């Protein structure tokens, strides 16, 4: 898998699976409707570099890695947990792979 392509702003259909954080929200931004199972928040906020607790679930692609990215902003979350992180991606915290 080409994990570096997740969240790069380009929609990659092969990465549009929960295991790849639904391409970090890239396909949603391309209006492909990739988050029809995303409940609890605005799917367009997936992968926006802000950790959102309500989007940090499998149906929302774990907020496109926003809650694991050490460069993301954590002002809009209260739990701010890194629940799913992919190999070769920058992740914060310890024992974060579930």
Q: What does the pLDDT read at residue 31?
A: 52
Report the DSSP beta bridge partners of residue 73.
Answer: 50
Phi/psi for 28 (5° steps) reads -70, -40
Whole-angstrom Cα distance, residue 29 to residue 77?
Answer: 22
Q: What does the pLDDT read at residue 32?
A: 52
Determine the average pLDDT of the residues in 57-86: 87
The pLDDT tens digits of the residues spanning 11-66 come to 887 887 777 777 777 776 655 556 677 877 887 788 889 999 999 988 888 888 88
**pTM, 2 dp:** 0.66
**In which residue are the tokens 């992740």 written?**
91
pLDDT(87) > 80: no
Phi/psi for 58 (5° steps) reads -60, -40
* Helices and strands of the chain, counted as H and E runs: 2, 0
At residue 98 the predicted structure's pLDDT band, cuts being 50, 70 and 90, is very low
């Amino acid at each position: 898998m080409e994990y570096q392509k997740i969240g790069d702003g380009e929609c990659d259909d092969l990465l549009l699976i929960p295991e790849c954080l639904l391409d970090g929200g890239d396909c949603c931004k391309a209006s492909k409707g990739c988050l029809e199972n995303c409940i609890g928040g605005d799917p367009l906020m997936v992968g926006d570099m802000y950790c959102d607790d309500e989007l940090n679930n499998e149906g929302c692609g774990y907020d496109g890695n926003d809650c694991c990215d050490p460069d993301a902003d954590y002002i809009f979350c209260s739990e701010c947990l890194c629940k799913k992180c992919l190999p070769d991606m920058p992740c914060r915290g310890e024992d974060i792979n579930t």
